Structure formats: structure tokens, C-alpha cells
Structure 1
Amino acid sequence: MAAIDLRAELRCSICMNIYTDPVTLTCGHNFCRVCITRTWDHQTESEYTCPECMQRFKKRPELKRNLTLCNIAEAFLHTHLERDNTGIFCTYCDFPVPAARSCVQCEISMCDNHLRKHDRSVEHTLVPPSTSLSERKCSIHKKILEYFCRDDAGCICATCCLTGDHIGHSLESLIEASDKKKEKLRLVLEKLSSKKVEIDKRVHGLQEHKRQLHEKAAGVTERVIDFFVNIRRQLEVLETGILGEIYRQEEQVLRPVVDLIQRLEIKNDELSRKMRHIEELCNMTDPLNVLQERESGTEDFCNTEMGGKEDRGRPDAQVHDISDLHVGPISETLRTLSDIITGLKKGIYMQEPTDILLDVNTAANNIRIAKDLKTVSWSLERKNYPNPSHRFQFNQILSIHSFSSGRHYWEVETSESGDWRVGVCYPSIDRKEHASIIGNNNKSWCLHRCNNLISLAQGSNSNQYSVIHDGKYVHLPHNISSNSFRIYLDYENGQLCFHELCDPIRHLHTFTTTFTEPLHAVFYVWDKMCGNGSWVRVRSLDKSP
């Protein structure tokens, strides 16, 4: 609104455009220098008047440039031109003035002032400001394009309709053709809009999922930090208590030892003094002196040496044995902490592994089961097992027991050749069709190793590992070198985790869902090389990773 008011103040009342080189008359009104000069050129001397207030001047006034107004007008015009997206200016104006319309016939652009004059003079086709006016004319006849040829899908002029290659073609006006195309574009726009809405919903859903994951991760992180802060605090208290107990026991056991050492050192000094005295007696040559000295303390010494009263009261009787330092409870505490840390370093600190036994009644006829019901392998020879309705048709077998609650894990060893899959499935899984293979349906989840024949022939690493559910493969980027794996099931939390039993244990993938049926462990084996090298073995409970 302020820009519109400013434009009105900066508009010359003669040309109705923004001031160009504005000058001020003595009456105070402003005009473009060119506009007032042309106006006065048509007036006689002594009849010069101001177009605004009609004030008369006896002689032609001297025009003085209004520098301040000139700067304001140029700044306003410059700002307006920057905001003008077309960048097309009036052909007639001496100063760059944005064009209002363009004339196709004349191939010129005009501002509002010149457009009014052009409208009164001729009836031409006016279009929004454009620099490509020649494109609106026929390239052959140089006439305005008025029709659309549906046969050639091009715009043509009236002459093209009567002569040339368009005679007899299906024609329609540009407006009709444009309306039809707009209708088609609206239909396309509706489809694109619906797709955009769908994508927006998906993006919003993924963003919400991302936000929830961040919140969950932040919550778990906070709990873990608090947990370990508490553990460190308790460990510090435990450390202080253990060290204090060791110091207390040390002080208790060492106190009599220190006392005894001091007493023995005193006695040792006394003995040394008496020994020096005896040596002096032994070196005397005067018998009388030797005999007289016996009465001055030598007798006490002899009594002491011969087992007197002081010697019989042994001062070391109060000394504790080194076994009196009770380190047993302390060592047991340290051993317990060491076992916990060792378990954590190995990967998963949880309950004992679950014992898995294979259900022979579900085995396909081309797999072999060991007597201990823990090893399954692929066989070229069909076994012709009895054919109950729940036996698999393709290369796999279920566990005897199922899991409908709790946390469980079991460990498997696998062959270095052939194809195998290990995982879990619902008992309602199909048993006959090819889609019954674990991972190929929405009732099973598995870790898969595929032996790629092409890669094998080329001499490259042919082992490809992936996890599969509902036919969707997720290839694992890890360089898996171990043939031992751990499957961890948390039924209530809907998690199935696969780990590689290396040092340290490495997490491979976790499926997260809501389990709706009991789950059986399931094993699939097959050898593309038509050998007998594909097998899977459930680790015994007495084996450790």
C-alpha cells in the first residue's frame, strides 16, 4: 500500500509515468523536463502556465532540476524494475519503464501511457509483455497464429488453412485447443496431486517413525546411562568397602607383629650388649677381675640363656598366622564381577541356551536327520518318510517344541558349502507349495546363506548372506567368516535377533514385529551342486561360544 502511495507521488501529471529528470517550477509543482518542455513548446510567449495550478508566467521560467526528487524517483524505479519478473520495458519511453502489454503485429512493448494511445489508434493483438513476439507469427506467412492443427499438433495462421500442407486437416481455434489441453492437464494434475498426497503421507509416516525411533533410542540411552552411573556408583562403594576391609584386616593382623618386632629388637640390643661384655671378660688377664665380675650381672645372663622365666614366656605367641587374613569373601566377590564382565564381553548376558530337538514328522523326504535329533543335512536320496499332512515338501524341518512366551536363544553350526536357512515360523505355515520355504512368506523369518554358482565359477567369494521375511531380502554387508550363529527370540517384545559367534559376538540383524502364534525353530538345507555338503547342527548345551 505504501508503494502504491509513493508511486502516485512520483508520477508526472503530464505523461503519467514516474518522473524522468524532474524539474520544479516557481509554483512548487514538479514535471519531467521533457514533458514540461514539450507542453510549453505548444504555448505562445506570455501564456506559459503550470499544467497543475494553471499559474501564468510572463516569460518562460528557467527549469531547475529537483535533485532530491530525481534520486527518489530513480531509487523507486530501480527497486520496481528489480521486482519486475519480465524485465521488458516500454519501447517508446526514453527511460526504462516496465511494459504493460506487447503488440504482436507491431512487435513492440508499451507502458500504460503509450498503451492508451495505441489502443485508440489500431486494433491489434495485445499480449502480456514478451520478447518473443515473432514466435506468435507463422514462420512462413508472417501472420498471427490463430488455429491449432490437430493432425500435425501445431499452431498455424489463417493462410495455412487455405494453402499448403494443412488443407483438409482437422482444425480448431487456439482457445478451444488450449481449453482441451488444460482439461487434460487438470486430470494429470489431479493424479499427480493424489500421488503427492500419498507420498506426503508416507513421508509424514516415516518422519513420525523416525521421531519415535529417536525418542525410543533417547529413552533407552538415558536408561542405560542411568543404569551404568548407578553401577559405577555401587562399584565405587564396593571398591571402597573392599579396600577398607583389606586395610582393617591388615592393621589387625600386623599390629602384634609390629609390637613383637619392636620387643625383639630391644632384646636383641640387650643381648648384643651382654655379648660384648662377656667378650671383654674373656679378654681379661686378671683372674680376680674375672671372678669378681660374675656377681655384677653375668649370672642373670646365664639364667636367661639357660631357659629362665623371661624366655619361657614367648612373645611371638600372640602373632597371627598369615591365613588369618580373610580374603576368601573378597576373592569370591571379585570372581563374580569378573564372570559378569566376561559374559558381557562375549555379547549377550542372558539365561542358559534353549535345547532344540528336530521333529522328524515334519521333515521333507530329501533331508537326513541325525540320531540325536540335532543335525539336519540335504540328501540326494529320498528317504520316503511317512507322509502325514504336516510334513514339508521342500528341504526343511521344524523343532519339536514351540515358543509362545519368554526369552530364548539357541546356537547353530552350519556347513561351508550349499544353501541353508535358519529361523522361526508359525505352525500354520504352508507345507506344500514353494512359498512354504522359510522367509518366502509372512509366517516365517530367517537368516539365509546362498551359494552363488556364477560367483563360484569366477573364483570370487560365493557366500552371500541375507535375512528374509515375506519374500523381502535384506542383504547383509558384513564380511561373515564364522560358521556359528546365535538366534535370540524375545516373544513379548516381538524381536528375533541373529548374531555371528565370533570374538566378540557381532549383531547381524533384528526383526521387530508382533507375534500372533507360537513359534517353532525351523531349518532349511539344499545343495545347488547336487552334493551332500549342506547341513545345519544345533549346538549342544554343554558347548560354549
Structure 2
Amino acid sequence: MAAADLRDELNCSICLSIYTDPVMLPCGHNFCQDCIGRVLDTQEGSGGYTCPECREEYQERPALHRNRTLGNIAQCFLSVHPEEDGTDIFCTYCDSPVPAVKSCLQCETSLCDTHLQRHNISVQHTLTEPTSSFEDRKCSIHSEFLKYYCTEDGACICPSCCLTGEHRGHRMEQLNEASEKKKEKLRNDLEKLPPEIEETEEQIQRLQERSREVTEKAAGETERVTALFGDIRKQLEALEMLLLNQIFWQKEMICLQLWELMEDLKVKKDELSMQIRHIEELCKMADPLIVLQEWESDEEEDKNYDERDYKYLDVDQISETLLTGLAGIVTGVKGKIYGQEATDLLLDINTAPNYLAVSGDRKSASRTTINQCYPLTEQRFIKYTQALSTRHFLSGRHYWEVQCSESGGWSIGMSYASIEREGDLSRVGFNDKSWCLTRLKDEYLVVHDHNITEVGYPVTSQRIRISLDYEAGCLSFYELSEPIRHLHTFTASFTEPLYAAFSSFKKSWVRICS
């Protein structure tokens, strides 16, 4: 790349000069820190901010991230092309500002073309590129001009430093010679930097693409969750109406029955009152024959009411309707959250080693001291008591739950089928082909490719949920405690079919929940 082309790439689009402390906006464009700061200040209070380059809008003032790589490239460019730094140095002898072409170190003056010719005729002094910093070119100890470069100490020194002091006896080079060597090195470095810029730009583009993907996915998830909760609210309202109607009609029926009973009891009460008055009259009569004959004729069968026969609100039926309705809603919600993929798993007995007992329904596995005498297969693990599932996943979102023993140690996770079947690399989690959550004593660990990380949560439940999103490259573990607790999420780019993996250590078991 030509210097002019590179300079164009290193120009700030605001001040049109080489970058000074370059910073980058979220859109990927770079500016001098002071330049973009002034632009953003002018946009303050306008209701938003925009990039001067691409006009991308931001609701809030965007964060400015220092681009150290670009800053280093700009500094290297200026060290090789000092004329590009924008500093104006004028001739010392001219009355009007005339750009200098050289500076004389002995005279400590800067010269234009005209005065340079006169100077060269009169004296033979050391000339250099235009500079205003003559003191920087002198030795701080001897006040002599720096003429040599000490290769051992990496310092510019004067002739007196060569004869005395700490540089005596060291290997020296003329400044021009040392400068050319450094320039050559810088040119080599400069050739490497543009590809780094391109690579950095590609990385920025990839991150921007990932940001867009995340934003789109978040929008989709937001829409899905909003619709899901809207549907849940509708179902809850329908269930609420059903229960309220059930309660209302039960109340109406029971109250009607109670009203009928109360009417019967009122009639009975009136009859009893009439009997009391009649009996009282009989008790006042003097003729015994009349009393006896009247009482016998008036005696009737008494009708009794037992309060135990009264109807009550059937709370059990209401509760059962409520629980059944809620269970139906939860089942429907689970289907919408985790998708339509079936997640029922079975253990592949052909992968289980001889000291791992697998239950008849192929849902449970436990470490045993009894040799199961399984037939030897290529899929069977030899060294570690672990097994894979019969089903594999190559796409989609899935989840399943595992019940684990309260004591002992166990591991659950996922693995490629290409995992080793014997030797140290066959252990789930201790290779680059498997990921697992492990319980040891009363703590959780997550393991992948020999990297062991403590989760930091104590064990509070024996039920674990495993969630897989194959395309997103996410494998998550949740402890089904109260409340549900997220333990860890692995992120990876899955390249092979994944199988669920289950390991049982001493005195432990794991069971796949149906």
C-alpha cells in the first residue's frame, strides 16, 4: 500500500489530519477523540446522536472505545513520515512565514531554500529535517548534539558519551545508519499492519453481524414471550370464569335446596305450635275420656331432619377443576417454550460398562460392584461408569430432567459419539468432545476439555433440568429448587450429533424423568 493511500486511511474525517487518540463508535467508524467529542457536544439536547460518517442514529450518547491498534499505526506512520504530522516550521531569517526545508543543528535555526543555499556557501554545519526542538537533540549531560546511537543501551548519545560515562566501550552507530535500520524495521512492521486493519475490520463486521443476530433473536423472543403470556392470561381468565360459574351454580343449587328445607321446617314449626296449643287445651279439660280419645286421634308420625343431610359447597371439586386446568395450561406452556421436539430419552445399554447397572426401563443407571457381563461392543465404555442416550440431537431446542441421588457423585451432560471409549480421554468432560455438570460432595462443578470450574452454588435439590439449543450452541443446566436456579451455560459451535451422557460414581444413581 502506497504511503499516500495509507495516509488517507489514517485521516480523521472531521479534522482531515492523522488520527490523534483515535476512538471508535459502535457503528465501527473512527475519529480523533477531541473531534468526535466536539461533534457529540453540539448534538447534545437535540433528541439523539448521529455518526458523522454513516449517519447512524443513537438514542443516547454513544460510548467511545479507544482504538489502540489504529493509534499505534498512526504513530508508526508519523515516525516514518514526519512531514505528515501537520506541524508548520518556518524559516528563521524570513520576515514572512516561509516553510523551512532544513534545520541547522549547530546554528539552531531553520532555513528555507534561499537561506539554505547561502548557509551552505558560508559554513558546513549538520543539517536535518525541519525541527523546532533543538534542545531535544542535545545531550542532557554534556550539552553536545547527539550524533551516535548506542546499540547496547538503545540510546542516542553525544561524542563525549562515547569517551566517558556508562556508554564507554559500547558498540556505536551513526544516527543516520541506526535510523535507516530502524526505518527498515518499521517498514517491515508497517507492511504487517494493513492486513491487521483488514482483519480487525472483519472482526468488527462479524461482531456487528452477531449483534444484529442477537437483536433480531431478542425481538423474536420478546414477541414470542408476549404472545405466550397473552395466551396464558386468556386461558387463566377462561379458567377463572369456569370456576366462578361452578361456584355460582353450586351456591344456587345448594341455596335452593336449603330454602326448600327451611320452608318445610317453617310448616313443621307452625304445626308444632298448633299441637302445643291443642295439648295445652286438652290438659285443661276435666273429662278424661275426651282427653284420651283426642290425643290418640291427633298423634301423627313426626318427620325429623338431620343436618348431616344438608348440602355444602363442594370445595374438593372446585380445587380439582382448578388444579386440572392449571396443569393443562402448564403443559401447553412447556410445549410452546421448548418446542415440539420430543425429549423422552433412554439409556443405550450398548455404551454402558460392566460395572454400571442399567434398569429394565433404561431410565436409571447406578454404579455397582457386580459385573453385569455385558457383551463387548465398539460403543461400550471401558474405564469409566458412564453411558450415552440412544437418541441424538443435530438441531432444534430440547430439554429433559434428571433425578440424581442425594449422596455420592454423578455427572450429566452431552457428548459427541466420537468420544474415546477407553483410556483417560474417554471420561465425559475431560476432552473436547463432551460437556458435563458434576456433583462432588455438596458442590457443583462444570467440566469441558479438562477445564474444571466451580459453579459456586451449594446442592439444594436432586432434580436437574438440561436445556439444549443446538443452533445457538448453548447447553444449560438448571437446579429445580425453589426458585429454579440457573447453574451454568456452555457455549460452543456444535459440529456433530449430540448424545445425552450420564455418569454414576460410587454409591450414586441417576434417573431420567419421564
- Shorter chain as normaliser: what TM range? 0.5 to 0.7
* 1:148-227 matches, cutoff 5 A: 148=149, 153-155=154-156, 171-172=173-174, 174=176, 176-195=177-196, 197-227=198-228
In structure 2, the CA distance between the partners of 1:268 and 1:490, relative to structure 1 (3 Å rule), is same
**CA–CA separation in structure 2 for the residues paired with 1:328 and 1:140:** 100
How far the C-alpha of 1:465 sits from its partner, in A, is: 0.7
Matched, 1:467 2:447: yes
**CA–CA separation in structure 2 for the residues paired with 1:133 and 1:116:** 22
Q: 1:398 aligns with which of 367, 381, 387?
A: 387
Q: 2:347 aligns with which of 350, 356, 381?
A: 356
For 1:288-322, what per-residue CA distance to the aligned partner results, in whole angstroms no more than 9, with x for missing partners? xxx9xxxxxxxxx9999666xxx99x9x9xxxx75
Task: Give the secondary-structure state (helix, strand or coil) at the position aligned to 1:205.
Answer: helix
Letter in 2 for 1:538: V
2:403–2:512: 8 Å Cα contact kept in structure 1?
no
- Give TM-score, length-normalised by structure 2: 0.56
Q: Which residue of 1 aligns with 2:456?
A: 478
**CA–CA separation in structure 2 for the residues paired with 1:270 and 1:393:** 93
1:355–1:410: 8 Å Cα contact kept in structure 2?
no
Letter in 1 for 2:485: R
How far the C-alpha of 1:410 sits from its partner, in A, is: 5.2
How far the C-alpha of 1:336 sits from its partner, in A, is: 0.9
In structure 2, the CA distance between the partners of 1:205 and 1:472, relative to structure 1 (3 Å rule), is farther
Matched, 1:136 2:137: yes
In structure 2, the CA distance between the partners of 1:205 and 1:378, relative to structure 1 (3 Å rule), is farther
How far the C-alpha of 1:207 sits from its partner, in A, is: 4.7
**CA–CA separation in structure 1 for the residues paired with 2:170 and 2:480:** 81
Which deviates further from its counterpart, 422-431 or 256-265?
256-265
For 1:11-54, what per-residue CA distance to the aligned partner results, in whole angstroms no more than 9, with x for missing partners? xxxxxxxxxxxxxxxxxxxxxxxxxxxxxxxxxxxxxxxxxxxx
Matched, 1:337 2:309: no
Letter in 2 for 1:394: K
**CA–CA separation in structure 2 for the residues paired with 1:138 and 1:352:** 79
How far the C-alpha of 1:345 sits from its partner, in A, is: 13
* 1:64-75 matches, cutoff 5 A: none
* 1:286-435 matches, cutoff 5 A: 330-337=318-325, 339=327, 354-356=345-347, 358-359=349-350, 363=353, 368-370=355-357, 372=359, 374-377=364-367, 389-399=378-388, 401-403=390-392, 407=398, 409=400, 411-413=402-404, 421-435=411-425
How far the C-alpha of 1:503 sits from its partner, in A, is: 4.1
Letter in 1 for 2:222: T
1:423–1:522: 8 Å Cα contact kept in structure 2?
yes
1:412–1:536: 8 Å Cα contact kept in structure 2?
no
Q: 2:428 aligns with which of 438, 450, 462?
A: 438
In structure 2, the CA distance between the partners of 1:344 and 1:206, relative to structure 1 (3 Å rule), is same
**CA–CA separation in structure 2 for the residues paired with 1:106 and 1:89:** 15
1:100–1:129: 8 Å Cα contact kept in structure 2?
no
Which blocks of at least 5 consecutive residues in structure 1 are unaligned?
A: 1-83, 292-300, 452-460, 526-533
**CA–CA separation in structure 2 for the residues paired with 1:330 and 1:426:** 50
Q: Which residue of 1 aligns with 2:77?
A: none
**RMSD of equivalent CA atoms:** 6.0
For 1:301-356, what per-residue CA distance to the aligned partner results, in whole angstroms no more than 9, with x for missing partners? 9999666xxx99x9x9xxxx75597878644421313546898999x999896443
**CA–CA separation in structure 2 for the residues paired with 1:155 and 1:377:** 74
1:358–1:397: 8 Å Cα contact kept in structure 2?
no
Q: 1:521 aligns with which of 494, 501, 506?
A: 501
Which blocks of at least 5 consecutive residues in structure 2 are unaligned?
A: 1-84
2:254–2:311: 8 Å Cα contact kept in structure 1?
no
**CA–CA separation in structure 2 for the residues paired with 1:282 and 1:377:** 93
Q: Which residue of 2 aligns with 1:500?
A: 479
For 1:121-154, what per-residue CA distance to the aligned partner results, in whole angstroms no more than 9, with x for missing partners? 8777576553x42332356775544555657755
**CA–CA separation in structure 1 for the residues paired with 2:343 and 2:163:** 95
**CA–CA separation in structure 2 for the residues paired with 1:541 and 1:169:** 78
Matched, 1:232 2:233: yes
**CA–CA separation in structure 2 for the residues paired with 1:168 and 1:465:** 58
Matched, 1:251 2:252: yes
How far the C-alpha of 1:181 sits from its partner, in A, is: 1.4
How far the C-alpha of 1:228 sits from its partner, in A, is: 1.6
1:416–1:483: 8 Å Cα contact kept in structure 2?
no
**CA–CA separation in structure 2 for the residues paired with 1:279 and 1:90:** 145
**CA–CA separation in structure 2 for the residues paired with 1:255 and 1:483:** 51
Letter in 2 for 1:437: R
**CA–CA separation in structure 2 for the residues paired with 1:440 and 1:514:** 17
**CA–CA separation in structure 1 for the residues paired with 2:253 and 2:141:** 119
* 1:94-105 matches, cutoff 5 A: 104-105=105-106
**CA–CA separation in structure 1 for the residues paired with 2:260 and 2:373:** 88
**CA–CA separation in structure 1 for the residues paired with 2:490 and 2:181:** 52
For 1:139-170, what per-residue CA distance to the aligned partner results, in whole angstroms no more than 9, with x for missing partners? 67755445556577554568989999889966
In structure 2, the CA distance between the partners of 1:162 and 1:326, relative to structure 1 (3 Å rule), is closer
Letter in 2 for 1:488: I
In structure 2, the CA distance between the partners of 1:524 and 1:179, relative to structure 1 (3 Å rule), is farther
Task: Give the secondary-structure state (helix, strand or coil) at the position aligned to 1:105.
Answer: coil
Task: Give the secondary-structure state (helix, strand or coil) at the position aligned to 1:478.
Answer: strand
In structure 2, the CA distance between the partners of 1:118 and 1:353, relative to structure 1 (3 Å rule), is closer
1:104–1:127: 8 Å Cα contact kept in structure 2?
no
Task: Give the secondary-structure state (helix, strand or coil) at the position aligned to 2:418.
Answer: coil
**CA–CA separation in structure 2 for the residues paired with 1:516 and 1:140:** 69
How far the C-alpha of 1:232 sits from its partner, in A, is: 1.6
Letter in 1 for 2:387: L
**CA–CA separation in structure 1 for the residues paired with 2:116 and 2:366:** 96
In structure 2, the CA distance between the partners of 1:303 and 1:477, relative to structure 1 (3 Å rule), is same
For 1:364-384, what per-residue CA distance to the aligned partner results, in whole angstroms no more than 9, with x for missing partners? xxx6234747444387x9999
**CA–CA separation in structure 1 for the residues paired with 2:146 and 2:239:** 95
**CA–CA separation in structure 2 for the residues paired with 1:472 and 1:202:** 29
> Larger Rg: 1 or 2?
1
Q: What is the aligned length?
A: 406
How far the C-alpha of 1:190 sits from its partner, in A, is: 3.8
Letter in 2 for 1:213: V
- Give TM-score, length-normalised by structure 1: 0.53
1:408–1:488: 8 Å Cα contact kept in structure 2?
yes
In structure 2, the CA distance between the partners of 1:214 and 1:384, relative to structure 1 (3 Å rule), is same
For 1:512-541, what per-residue CA distance to the aligned partner results, in whole angstroms no more than 9, with x for missing partners? 65564362534375xxxxxxxx35423376
In structure 2, the CA distance between the partners of 1:487 and 1:258, relative to structure 1 (3 Å rule), is closer
For 1:434-458, what per-residue CA distance to the aligned partner results, in whole angstroms no more than 9, with x for missing partners? 333323444333223568xxxxxxx
**CA–CA separation in structure 1 for the residues paired with 2:147 and 2:495:** 69
1:480–1:500: 8 Å Cα contact kept in structure 2?
no
Task: Give the secondary-structure state (helix, strand or coil) at the position aligned to 2:420.
Answer: coil
How far the C-alpha of 1:243 sits from its partner, in A, is: 1.3
In structure 2, the CA distance between the partners of 1:129 and 1:270, relative to structure 1 (3 Å rule), is farther
